[in-house]
Amino acid sequence: MFDTTMIMAILPEILMLILGLLVLVFDLIWKKRDGRDLGWLTAGGLLFILIVTAAIARPAESTLVFGGMIRYDMMSYVFKLLFIFGSMMTSFFMMDIEQLGKRGEAYILLLVATIGMSLMASSADLIMLYLAIETTSIPMYVLAGFMRDDEKSTEAGFKYLLFGAMSSTIMLYGFSLIFGFTGTTALTAITDFTLPLAVGIIFLMMVGIAFKISLAPLHFWAPDVYEGAPTPITGYLSTASKAAGFAVLLRLFLGLFPETSPYAPTWTMIMAVLATITMTLGNAVALSQTNIKRMLAYSSIAHAGYALVGVVSLSELGVGSVTFYLIAYVMTNLAAFGVIAAFSRVAGSDEISDYAGMSRRNPTLALVALVAFLSLTGMPPFGGFVAKVFVFAAAVKADMIWLAVIGVLNSIIGVYYYLTVLKVIYLHRMEGENEEAHPIPITRPYAIALTVLSFAILAIGIVFGPWFNIASSVAEGLF
Amino acid sequence: MNLSETVNTGYFFGLVPLLVFFPIAGMLFNMIFGGKMSEKAIGTVASAASGLTFVVAVLLAYSLSATHGELHQVFLAEWIHIGELQLDWTFRVDTLSVVMMLVVSGVGTLIHIYAIGYMHEDVRFKDDVRRFRRFFVFLNLFIAMMMILVSGDSYLMLFVGWEGVGLCSFLLIGFWYDFNILGQKSTENAEAGKKAFIANRVGDFGFLLAMFTTFWHFGSLQFDAVFESASHHPDPVVISAITLFMLIGVTGKSAQVPLYVWLPDAMAGPTPVSALIHAATMVTAGVYLVVRSAPLYNLVHSTSYIVAMIGAVTALFAATIAVGQYDIKKVLAYSTISQLGFMVAAVGMGAYVAGIFHLATHAFFKALLFLSAGSIILGMERGHHHLAHGHGDHDDADAHHDEEVFDPGDMRNMGNLRKQMPVTFWLYMAGTLALAGIFPFAGFWSKDEILLDAKLHAEHYPGVYWLLAAAAFLTAFYMGRQIWMVFFGKERTEVAKHAQESPPVMTVPLMVLAFLAVFGGALNLPGSHALTHWLEHTIEGVHAGEFDFMVAGVSTVLALIAIGISWLLYGKNPLKAGQIDPLKKPLGFVFTGMENKWFVDEGYGAVIIRPFEKLAKFLSIDLDWNFWHDWFHNEVVYAGFQGLAKFLADPVDMGIINAIADWLAEITKRSSEKLSSLQNGFVRSYALSVLVGVVMILGYLLLK
Amino acid sequence: MTVFIILALVAIITALGMLISRNAVYSALFLVLNFATVAVFYLLLGAPFIAITQVTVYAGAIMVLFLFVIMLLGTDELEDTDNLTWQRPLAIGLAVVLVVEGIYLMLSQNTLGFITTPSEDLGSPQAIGDMLFSKYLLPFEATSILLLVAMVGAIVLTVKNKKGEQS
């Protein structure tokens, strides 16, 4: 009854579930321990899962398994590895935050969210998709509101919940309509949809996805939630969660609108316009922010816009470029939020002006910040540069040069606020100029995670060949 | 080719990536674990890494000789594959690159070992023991980069190594970045590092232009592909352009006129650095580049003449400056520039073997000389400290900071050091005799071969021979001057009387180098022509030269006369303390010019640097800051943008303040449980925006 | 058909009542009514199992929970603290536009002709059980994980630690 393909298809999820249960059990029975031990367990377990999945769970060809519920192909494989990696980094960052990392529940919430994301990336059925989205979102709601003493955190969690529930509702309505008209919930059913009403229904579905990737006009939750949630969670939200949304978007969008579809021009125009609004809005509002988490929130919104540029090109290069962009973006944003988490742990503030003199308080941390922020800007030799090149190249190849131009202009705006942060870190001095007396120590989990991420950003930027090949293989699997 | 093939064929070509990875491994090991290691351990790891590199080079040489010098290329990794641009990291093992590998790793390993002893004392004189590890990390990095340079199979890989060694040069020149050369707190050393980097940058720009032109015209950067295309379609204009641009790079890296100015300043770095980078290895990269590009240079006579001329002029020019220098390392620095001039002149004339031969022998004796100079400097420092602390009170621990500034490298403070430091004296003599080109030391054979080739090609390259001969004369002269001033006569200061000899960890590597300096000529003796035959496999058109007694005799006689004159001036009546140089009066303004390096740096300052700084100031302060930032940006763009951004942010911000205020009000009304009812006023506005968006998009879709 | 229209009206009115009502208990009760109406819809559609489940789970368990919470918290009446009053008419206007768009969308195409009829026993417990363990096995298991994590989340958010060190 069960064959190996089925097991391989959900191997990471099974392993993560076991890990999560282990964490819960150890939380109970392992009395004399530091809260961090669970963090090490989670991180180590995730590393193990990453290696095992990478080694043996690679799909030979695209197949539908579990009664058509999930699709076992390169896209799910690559994205799962990305999520597991992001989750591992996040658990490193979580470990030393009071109130967050000392409790075992945080880790299982993280793990289940990752399971949800993996299922999202591989869903081939509407019911599975909805469940996966909820499995991702609900733990994230809780994690966002985890710090109960912090009013901002509670507010963040609640807002995330409300907004998420609202967009889920709209999306579910769309799903129900599809089922009503086609009698099936398989995603392939939508792609065969010839009903003109399809346009409206598809739009409803997109609402849910647009929420997940914080696309305008469904981006409003992002700044408040990102600012209020504990920083490692924000890091995870802004990267893996968004990537999961993009995975779903890629599957749907490219399934729905192949070259031949008559709706393609309309839809690509809508998406292109939304991408433009998102990019511009994100960059414009980020300019006037003084809180670094909020600034990065708007920057993440803008980055969703950039990634979307690759999607609207509707080509293999487009999909490959989006995947590559997401990989680079996950590394970069995690690094950025990791720096912020490390800093605010010690300095207790998220205001940009409080970062003055950080280069003297901890030069290595400032260097990681430099790498991360320059990569966000899209500066070579970091991953962000290559990612942007490919995404804009896809747009140009699809004859949407205006979109690429807008993207470039937006990147230029972005340079300003990223460099402002770097300027404050490197060129400004603390009050009293005694940075020596206020060093910023980083603990070992941060050191490990930030080092790995920095190298990853550099590797993706310099030796981008293999990474792009992986991203392209995702594209081939989809077409 | 990979490791399994190595085992199968019995040759070691597959090991070539280790050339790069051994030093990198050494570097990483010291970086990660060095904090817990003793100085000896750090030094040993670094030297072992370098030593293993040498072993690999030897194995490669053996493999090559067993396969009759055939070219072997070992592919390591793909790098950039975009469209037609296919650039890989491939290693090239041919006779030329192996020669370079052997010289670099061999001399490099000896210098590593020497540096263990040198840096042990230097970090104590400068009072910063923790920097010891950093030095060896940089040294290993340098070896790795140099290996990439000489083993690359394309101009691109060569350039990667080129840039890498430039970086290491910067890091190591400015190693004592907070001091100056006399040990005081200063930014002078850092400035020297910057100068080196910038001067090299100018050269690199030329190299880049050459690479771009090459790629544009030939469609590839890989050596064989380029040379093939060039031989089939020799477009003289393009190839001249390429070779000229490359020449700019060569003048930067190999310190020729006009970009040599960084090398004397680079003496600010610790002496092992001067020996390794600025004498034996990095500076020879330019020569290597020209030899590697021999097929291109062979096609355009005009450019190769320019190359030869620049080399010859540099040789003479630098030699004149060396005559007027008082710092022991500066003399050697200008001597290096001069000898590099010899090499560049040689390869410019097409005498590639002679150039490489001199490269190798120069590496031996110049490294020997520099390291011995380092030994002398440390000896003087030891004497200085012995005087300051040994005789004086012991609680004057900080006394040496208040003491008069003492320059341990100034030859005017030395004298009769052969009494205090006999081993160093004999080592220095070996190096000097080799450099001066006295039979039968190594320098004699290599310099002679260059002079011979200059004479033979005199009709195609007029003037080169005379310039080189004059330079050779001056070389012997200034080295003689140095020997008499430093080792003979009477001590001119108290410190010289108390100078102490160096420990074996420093002198033993020097003895190895001395051996090579004495017997290195065996590499290419007129009878065996070993090196010529070896390089024949790689470089075309190379043939063994005949030994010409005339040329050899003339040069030997000149050298002896020069040494004789120097003895008359400096040896017979040894300089006393405070006495001015005996050449000053007879030569007058000429000597002033020599002393002051012909005011070249001042010239550059006035003509290039100061106008550049003025322009930069104008652009940054007047144009950018005052106009663009203060007025345009602040008033026009920023204010306008702020307005727009505020407009966009207001609904949001309004909502937050609203929500928080309301929420706090609620809190005071009831018991504060964590998840008390949350105000929804502001999420409402979000939902409204969503509704707006939905309605609009749906409307648009319907209308289509 | 008429039954449907009446029930639809009831559903909409109770939903609006829940939103507009100022008293938390009234809101909760309106919601119960709404759930009951939806349960009747399910019956009409021939899905008795879901109908009963709706009543049991939603109206029975969840709303009871809500009412307990409201009782424990002792919420007062909400005051009208709305200072974004311009949003309300805008929202109503947009909602009307949306409804119009929706109607236009439905009527402009022959949408009704496309609606498929499900099989006879779709709503029966046997059919549901069959599907849950064969085709929809993975979502079923995923749901169990989701429920576990929801419980964990609920506890995390509300529990007061006895030792008082972690909160």
Q: Which of B553, B568, B595 is the last residue of a domain?
A: B595
Please state, in angstroms and rounded to a whole number, the distance separating the CA atoms of residues A89 and A416: 28
Query: What ipTM was predicted for this assembly?
Result: 0.85
Chain B residues inside the 8 Å CB shell of A199: 701, 704
Strand partners, B88: B78
Q: How much is the pLDDT for A29?
A: 84
Q: Does B616 lie in the same domain as B591?
A: no
Q: Does B520 lie in the same domain as B429?
A: yes
Q: How much is the pLDDT for B640?
A: 72
Q: Does A156 lie in the same domain as A25?
A: yes
Q: Which two tokens stand for residue C92?
A: 């109503």
pLDDT tens, residue by residue, A297-316: 989 999 999 999 988 888 88
* Non-local CB neighbours of B85 within 8 Å, separated by 6+ positions: none
Residue B691 C-alpha, separation from nearest chain A C-alpha, in angstroms: 9
pLDDT tens, residue by residue, C94-138: 888 888 887 877 776 666 666 666 666 666 788 888 888 888 888
Residue B142 C-alpha, separation from nearest chain A C-alpha, in angstroms: 21
Residue A113 C-alpha, separation from nearest chain C C-alpha, in angstroms: 9
CB B266 within 8 A of CB B357: no
- At B147, is the pLDDT very low, low, confident or very high (cuts 50, 70, 90)? very high
Does B366 reside within a domain? yes
Query: Domain tally for chain B?
Result: 2
Chain B residues inside the 8 Å CB shell of C158: 674-675
> How confident is the model over C55-72, as a mean pLDDT?
88
Q: Which two tokens stand for residue B200?
A: 């090299």
DSSP assignment of A198-226: HHHHHHHHHHHHHHHTT-TTS-THHHHHH
% chain B with pLDDT above 70: 87
pLDDT surpasses 60 at B679 = no
Tell me the CA distances in angstroms from B690 to A166, A414, B35, one per residue in order: 10, 26, 57
Q: Which of C75, C83, C87 sits opposite B688 (nearest CB)?
A: C87
- At B669, is the pLDDT very low, low, confident or very high (cuts 50, 70, 90)? very low
Ranked by mean pLDDT, which of A19-28, B159-168, B385-394 comes out on top?
B159-168
Q: How much is the pLDDT for B409?
A: 81
Q: How much is the pLDDT for B24?
A: 93
Q: Which of A240, A256, A272 is the last residue of a domain?
A: A256
Domain ranges of chain C: 1-76, 119-162
- At B420, is the pLDDT very low, low, confident or very high (cuts 50, 70, 90)? confident
Query: Are β-strands A63-65 and A70-72 bridged in parallel, bridged antiparallel, or unpaired?
Result: antiparallel
Protein fold of C1-76: Four Helix Bundle (Hemerythrin (Met), subunit A) (1.20.120)
Q: Does A464 lie in the same domain as A431?
A: yes
Strand partners, A63: A72
CB A270 within 8 A of CB B697: yes
Q: How much is the pLDDT for B649?
A: 66
Which residue range(s) make up the domain with B424? 314-398+407-595
Tell me the CA distances in angstroms from B558 to B313, B334, B548, B636, one per residue in order: 19, 20, 16, 74
Q: Which of A233, A256, A279 is the last residue of a domain?
A: A256
What's the CA angle centered on B382, arms B377 and B385, to 5 degrees?
125
pLDDT surpasses 60 at B671 = no
Strand partners, B90: B75
Cβ contact A162–B644 (<8 Å): no
Cβ contact B691–C84 (<8 Å): no
Q: Which of B595, B610, B631 is the last residue of a domain?
A: B595
User: A277 in contact with C at a CB cutoff of 8 Å?
Assistant: no
Does B438 reside within a domain? yes
Cβ contact B675–C91 (<8 Å): no
pLDDT surpasses 60 at B562 = yes
Cα atoms found within 13 Å of the Cα of residue A180, Cβ hemisphere only? 14
pLDDT surpasses 50 at A193 = yes
Please state, in angstroms and rounded to a whole number, the distance separating the CA atoms of residues A263 and B643: 39
Query: Domain tally for chain A?
Result: 2
Question: What residue of B is the nearest CA neighbor of A459?
Answer: B79
Q: Does B687 lie in the same domain as B667?
A: yes
Does B414 reside within a domain? yes
**Torsion, Cα of A275, A278, A281, A283 (10° steps):** -80
CB B443 within 8 A of CB B434: yes
Residue A467 C-alpha, separation from nearest chain B C-alpha, in angstroms: 12
> How confident is the model over A352-364, as a mean pLDDT?
85
* Neighbors of chain C with 3 or more C-beta pairs under 8 Å: A, B
pLDDT surpasses 50 at A367 = yes
Q: How much is the pLDDT for B391?
A: 55
pLDDT surpasses 50 at B676 = no
Does B172 reside within a domain? no
pLDDT surpasses 60 at B395 = no
Q: Which of C76, C82, C94 sits opposite B681 (nearest CB)?
A: C82
For residues A6-17, one letter each, b for 16 or more C-beta atoms within 10 angstroms of the residue's C-beta and e for the rest, the string is bebbbbbbebbb
Q: Does A272 lie in the same domain as A193?
A: no
Which residue range(s) make up the domain with A336? 258-479
Q: How much is the pLDDT for B545?
A: 66
Q: Chain A neighbours among B 21-80 (CB < 8 Å)?
A: 77-80
Q: How much is the pLDDT for B682?
A: 58
Q: Which two tokens stand for residue B225?
A: 């592909």
- At B680, is the pLDDT very low, low, confident or very high (cuts 50, 70, 90)? very low
Q: Chain A neighbours among B 649-688 (CB < 8 Å)?
A: 649, 652, 656, 659-660, 663, 674-675, 678, 680, 682-683, 685-687
Chain C: which residues have CB within 8 Å of chain A? Answer: 105-106, 109, 111, 114-116, 118, 134-139, 142-143, 145-146, 148-150, 152-153, 155-157, 166-167
End-to-end CA distance of chain A: 30
Q: Does B447 lie in the same domain as B372?
A: yes
pLDDT tens, residue by residue, B26-41: 999 988 888 788 888 8
Q: Does A199 lie in the same domain as A303?
A: no
Ranked by mean pLDDT, which of A120-129, B30-39, B413-422, B583-592 comes out on top?
A120-129
pLDDT tens, residue by residue, B589-628: 777 778 788 888 888 888 888 888 888 888 877 776 676 6
Strand partners, B80: B87
pLDDT surpasses 90 at B657 = no
Q: Does A345 lie in the same domain as A268?
A: yes
Average pLDDT over all residues of chain B: 82
Q: Does B497 lie in the same domain as B412?
A: yes
